[in-house]
Structures are given as C-alpha cells and as structure tokens.
C-alpha cells in the first residue's frame, strides 16, 4: 500500500480523499492557493504546501508547482480528484516520469477518451452503440450547419474537449444554428482552450444513464451498476441517483456490459464512468441506449454508488494504484436500497441561478445524512472556483423513501448570507413526477415555474415570519401592537418586514428562526429570509427585489446586451449575458415591463452589486 499521497485538488473532493487515506494509514499532503489557506482540507491534511495565488492557472493547474510540492514532501503518489488536472494525460505522464504513482487512469486511456469524436470512433470499433451525429475534421461553419441540417433538428452542438456541461448547446431549428455554434465555441475556447465541436442528434425525452466501471493492472474490469443523472440544468447535474428508476434486469445487463466492453477497449485501470444517453420515450430499453463519452476519473456523484454497493471507491483507487487486484469480483457486487445525491450550490435561483459569493456566517446541515462539503461555517465562498457548497447524500430501502429523505434534508439546510439552491432542490425532490420516476433531462425546464422560487416571499413564508414576530414579542404584548385589538379572532393579521419590504399575513407557525450577527433570519423549506418588525414609514409591499433592478451578482464580464433602453420586455426574457466562473449566465426580466435604465455594455468587466438593468412594471 502507498505510504503517502499528495492530493492535487481542493475543497470537497480533497477532504473526501483525505478521509479515506487517513483510515488506511496513508500520510496525506494538501496543496492550496493563497485564498484557500484557511480551508478545512488544508487543516485536515497531515501536511500542506502553498502553490500560488488564487487563479487556478497559477496554482491548481500549475503542473510544475504540484510536482515540486510532491518532491519536497516525499509523496509517493498523486491523486488528482476531479476537475483541474484529473484528465490531463500530459500531467499523468509527468507524474509517472517523476517516479510517482498516478492514482488515475492510464495516460493512453485518458487520451483515447478525452476527445469526444475520437472516443466515439473507438467505441464504434469496439461494438458499443453510439448516438448518430457528425465527428468530422471539417470545422467550417458551413459544413457544420450542413451536417446539422442533414441529421435533422433538434441537434446538440458539443465541444470536442468538453465536460461538466460546458461547451454544449441545443439547436432546435436551422436558423438558430449559427448563433448556437458561436456561443458554444466561445464557451469551449474559454473553458478548454479548444473550440472544435461535434454534432449529435438530440434525443427527445432523453435520460442520462452512466455506469461506474473499475479496472486493475491485472486486466480485470467490473461495473458497480448504473446511476441516473437526468435531473440537469444547462447540462449540469443537479440530482443523481442509483440505481436508475425503471431499469429492468435485461436493460441493466445490456448497458453495464457495454460499459465494461468500452473500458476494456482502452485497457482501462482505475475508476471511470461510461456515460450513455437513453431514449426513454417508451421506457428504458436495451436497443435505445447509446454511448456518449467516458470520464476517466472519479465522478462527483460517486457517493450514490458507494451507498448502494457498500464500497469505498477511493479505497479501491488507492489499492489498484498500489498494484493490488480489484477488491471484489463482479459476482460479489450487488445493489442494496436506493441512494440520491443533491448538489448544493452557492447560487441564486431567482436571478437565473447566478453564482452567489461571500461569507458563510450560517452553515448548517441535517445530522442524519451524509454530507460531503468543502467549506464550513465562518468560511467563505470566493469567485475563483466552482460554487458547490456541499453534496447531500441519502440512502433508504426504496426510491420513494429516498426521495422523501432528500427533500427533507434539502429543506432543512441553513445558509446565510450566501444564497443557495436548497429550496429549489427540496421542491424538485418532492415533485410528484420526480417521486413517480417520470424524469428526463427536460424535467427542470418543464417544472421551472413550480421549482424556481420567486423573488418575493410566499404566503407560507410571510405567515411563518408573522408567527415568529408574535412569539418573540409575547413576553410583553404592549411592546408590539401591530394589528392588535382586544378579543381578537384567531385569524389576526400581522405586518412583518421581510427582506426590506412590508407584508401582511395571518399567523401560521413554521420554519426555524435564529439570529446571525445581529440579524434575525427565518429558515424555511431550504430558503433564508431576514425578518423584522416593520418600520413605521414603510408601506406594505414597498421596496425589496420587486423594484426591477438587476444587479451583477459577482464580478464578471458582460458577454452581450440583448435589449435597449425603452424596449418592452416580457417576464423571463433574456436581457444581459454575463460570464462568470467560465460559465455564461443570463439575467432575465423579473416581470413584464419596460427597460427604464441600462448600464450594461458588452465586453465590460463589472463588479459585484453593480446595477446593470432596471425594469419598470407595466401599468
């Protein structure tokens, strides 16, 4: 077994690897940027080395600095986690050339599967079914447009070097192809330094099914069953589960066997995931599942596989990297119960899921579930890295029980002042269609109105806030006579200030109220609301987010401005596109109205909190 391990990553996955390595008696070494010096993973490692400033290219992506840290600390091996350098064949070779053990896929396999077009050609040769499309070298816009027309719309434009949902655009009609191609290439170039694309037939009613595979240096390959990752937003996974709902034995055998065949085709060693797209319009069927790509690393969603198999996949990685055979044979692996994972992000669903940054003055999770988190209360979400706060993982005997447990867990999350998608996740997990297993990759779009909260508090929130104010002032009722009258009826209405606006509601208890740094907060259904007794000079409904001002939620660059001052806009219409954290985000109109003010300029860098657009309501 390896005696020491340097983790070339940060945050949640670094903590995850450290946890298993310590249990196995392996000395752990963390590398970190300046801004991450106080992060939990740095403290939890046996040793830590600062490798540069916040910018990833000057720290976590600097191969020379990481190798120098490994040499200076006497590390025997390097684990890349996921993201950053985890699928960089050149880095894997450099690690091996330095005499270190690479805890990852063989460089040849990374190269073979790293480019989507080449990987598909290889899978065709291996007899693995692939989605119809265009994989050609001619990257001219005219040729790509012609291929899209030939395949038939809708089509999917995908970055050849893409991953993580980046560099991917759906195009529904020929006239929209050019704009989709330009946007896809721009994002691909920014994220991967490669703007080449391929074209695929877009499957209507698609399910995203992936299979966890594992190989060892003795030539053995097994699968650890499938996961369903169909709940996505902008091609990024939101909720994952294992096993896949509606998967019968014959279909499971077909897809898992194809995954093993794919891994064997590249002499795979270590943890990997074979991703498939399924046409589930008539349920899951063996003849309607096609290979999409292979991720030659551990996946973010690996905990759901661990939950249903009882295996520690990081332990498997360390044992295989040490030259040991796989810990289990295929016939020793079985599915037990149902697992689900929700990705808790620092983002604000009410303004297009734009990232939210700042201090974590309050950060509390349910105690009865598995939580893999890279941050802690008192820490901070910075603009430099992925905005994921934690993964909430549940396991139960049945899918229905797992969904209920996940919804309850997401609803119990308490985070402030950073905004999160916890309420959105709770609503998704409790949605009747989700509970019934009626899911595909369009689920979130179809249910957006029910899932995405409004900027203003719901009647339930206002009623709970009112109840809290009455309760808090019950010791001396003469101090707070809002709506007070003698012999009051049970439906007494109370005024309460929430987020700066005054609302009136009947009292109904609910939620959890705490004081954080002098601010009274109501946590309810995964959302946080600052509450107070109303100011004397504030009228009900005044102020708040509803004034139509759209602010830059974090530092970024204005990619495009799609309206002009005086334009009439509809609720949900895209107004400005902002690039932040290497992703494009759209700011949309909160209601029907007119563009009253416009400060956004294409190409400009903007600071957090800058007012970019103001919409005045119709009428």
What per-residue confidence (pLDDT) applies to 369? 97
CATH assignment of 133-201, among 3.20.20.80, 3.40.50.620, 3.40.50.1100, 3.30.1490.20: 3.30.1490.20
Task: Establish how many alpha carbons lie within 13 A of residue 616's alpha carbon, considering only the half-sphere containing its beta carbon.
Answer: 9
DSSP string, 265-291: HTT--EEEEEEEEEE-BTB--GGGEEE
DSSP 419: -
Q: Look up residue 58 and give its DSSP letter.
A: G
Whole-angstrom distance, CA of residue 547 vs CA of residue 558: 22
Positions of the chain with pLDDT lower than 70, given as ranges = 163-164, 473-493, 535-547, 553-554, 580-583, 607-609, 619
pLDDT at 421: 96
- What fold does the segment set 338-454 form as a domain? D-amino Acid Aminotransferase; Chain A, domain 1 (3.30.470)
Distance CA 92, CA 80 (A): 9
Q: Which residues contact 298 (CB under 8 A, 6 or more apart)?
A: 13, 81, 82, 86, 271, 313, 314, 317
Q: Is 615 helix (H, G, I), strand (E, B) or coil?
A: strand
Is 474 a catalytic site residue?
Answer: no
The radius of gyration of the chain's CA atoms, rounded to the nearest angstrom, is 26
- Kindly report whether the global pTM for this prediction surpasses the value 0.85: no
Catalytic residue of the set 111, 185, 297, 427: 297
Alpha-carbon distance of 197 to 160, in angstroms, equals 5
Q: How far is CA 47 from CA 26, 74, 76, 151, in A?
A: 12, 11, 14, 54
Domain boundaries, given as residue ranges, for the chain: 4-103, 119-131+206-336, 133-201, 338-454, 459-532, 545-617
pLDDT digits (tens, 9 = 90+) for 220-240: 999 999 999 999 998 889 999
In this prediction, residue 583 carries a pLDDT of 65
In this prediction, residue 485 carries a pLDDT of 38
DSSP one-letter code for 457: P
Q: What's the CA dihedral at 419, 423, 429, 433 to 10 degrees?
A: -120
Residue range 4-103 in CATH 3.50.50.60: no
What is the CATH code for 119-131+206-336? Answer: 3.30.470.20
Q: Which fold has domain 545-617?
A: OB fold (Dihydrolipoamide Acetyltransferase, E2P) (2.40.50)
Positive or negative: CA dihedral 122, 123, 127, 133: negative
Going by their DSSP bridges, the two strands 354-355 and 347-348 should be labelled as antiparallel
SS3 string of 405-455? HHHHHHHCCEEEECCCCHHHHHHHHHCHHHHCCCCCCCHHHHCHHHHCCCC
């Amino acid at each position: 077994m390896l005696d020491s391990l340097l983790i070339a990553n940060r945050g949640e996955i670094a903590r995850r690897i450290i946890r298993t390595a310590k249990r196995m008696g392996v000395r752990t070494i963390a590398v970190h940027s300046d801004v991450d010096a106080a992060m939990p993973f740095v403290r939890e490692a046996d040793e830590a080395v600062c490798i540069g400033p916040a910018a990833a290219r000057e720290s976590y992506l600097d191969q020379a600095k990481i190798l120098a840290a490994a040499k200076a600390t006497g590390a025997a091996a390097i684990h890349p986690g996921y993201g950053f350098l985890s699928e960089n064949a050149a880095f894997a070779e450099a690690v091996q050339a330095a005499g270190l053990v690479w805890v990852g896929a063989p460089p040849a396999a990374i190269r073979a599967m790293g480019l989507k077009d080449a990987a598909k050609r290889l899978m065709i040769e291996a007899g693995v079914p692939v989605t119809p499309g265009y994989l050609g070298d001619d990257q001219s816009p005219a040729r790509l447009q012609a291929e899209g027309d030939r395949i038939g719309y809708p089509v999917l434009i995908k970055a050849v070097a893409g991953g993580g949902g980046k560099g991917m655009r759906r195009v529904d009609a020929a006239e929209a192809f050019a704009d989709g191609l330009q946007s896809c290439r721009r994002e691909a170039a920014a994220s991967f330094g490669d703007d080449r694309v391929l074209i695929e037939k877009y499957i209507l009613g698609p399910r995203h099914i992936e299979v966890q595979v594992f190989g060892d240096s003795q030539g053995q390959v097994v699968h650890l069953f499938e996961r369903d990752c169909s709940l996505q937003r902008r091609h990024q996974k939101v909720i994952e589960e294992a096993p896949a709902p509606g998967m019968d034995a014959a279909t499971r055998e077909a897809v898992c066997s194809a995954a093993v065949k794919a891994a064997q085709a590249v002499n795979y060693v270590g943890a990997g995931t074979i991703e498939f797209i399924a046409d589930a319009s008539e349920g899951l069927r063996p003849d309607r599942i096609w290979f999409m790509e292979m991720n030659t690393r551990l996946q973010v969603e690996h905990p759901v596989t661990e939950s249903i198999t009882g295996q520690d996949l990081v332990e498997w990685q360390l044992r295989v990297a040490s030259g040991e055979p796989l810990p289990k044979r295929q016939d020793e692996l079985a599915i037990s119960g149902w697992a689900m994972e929700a990705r808790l992000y620092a983002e604000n669903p009410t303004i297009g899921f734009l990232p939210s940054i700042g201090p974590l003055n309050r950060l509390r999770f349910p105690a009865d579930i598995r939580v893999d988190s890279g941050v802690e209360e008192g820490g901070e979400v910075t603009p430099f890295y992925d905005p994921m706060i934690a993964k909430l993982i549940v396991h139960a005997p049945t899918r229905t029980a797992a969904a209920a447990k996940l919804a309850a867990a997401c609803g119990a999350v308490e985070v402030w002042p950073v905004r999160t998608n916890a309420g959105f996740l709770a609503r998704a997990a409790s949605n009747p269609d989700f509970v019934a297993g009626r899911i595909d990759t369009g689920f979130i779009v179809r249910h957006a109105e029910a899932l995405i909260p409004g900027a203003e508090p719901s009647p339930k929130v206002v009623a709970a806030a009112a109840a809290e104010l009455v309760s808090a002032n019950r010791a001396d009722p003469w101090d707070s006579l809002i709506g007070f009258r003698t012999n009051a009826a049970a439906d007494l209405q109370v005024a309460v200030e929430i987020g700066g606006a005054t609302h009136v509601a009947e009292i109904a208890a609910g939620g959890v109220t705490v004081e954080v740094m002098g601010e009274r907060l109501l946590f309810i259904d995964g959302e946080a609301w600052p509450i107070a007794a109303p100011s004397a000079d504030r009228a009900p409904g005044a102020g708040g987010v509803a004034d139509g001002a759209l602010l830059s939620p974090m530092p970024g660059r204005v990619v495009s401005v799609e309206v002009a001052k005086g334009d009439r806009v509809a609720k949900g219409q895209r107004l400005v596109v902002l690039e932040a954290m290497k992703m494009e985000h759209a700011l949309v109109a909160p209601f029907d109205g007119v563009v009253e003010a416009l400060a956004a300029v294409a190409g400009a860098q903007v600071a957090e909190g800058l007012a970019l657009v103001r919409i005045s309501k119709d009428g």
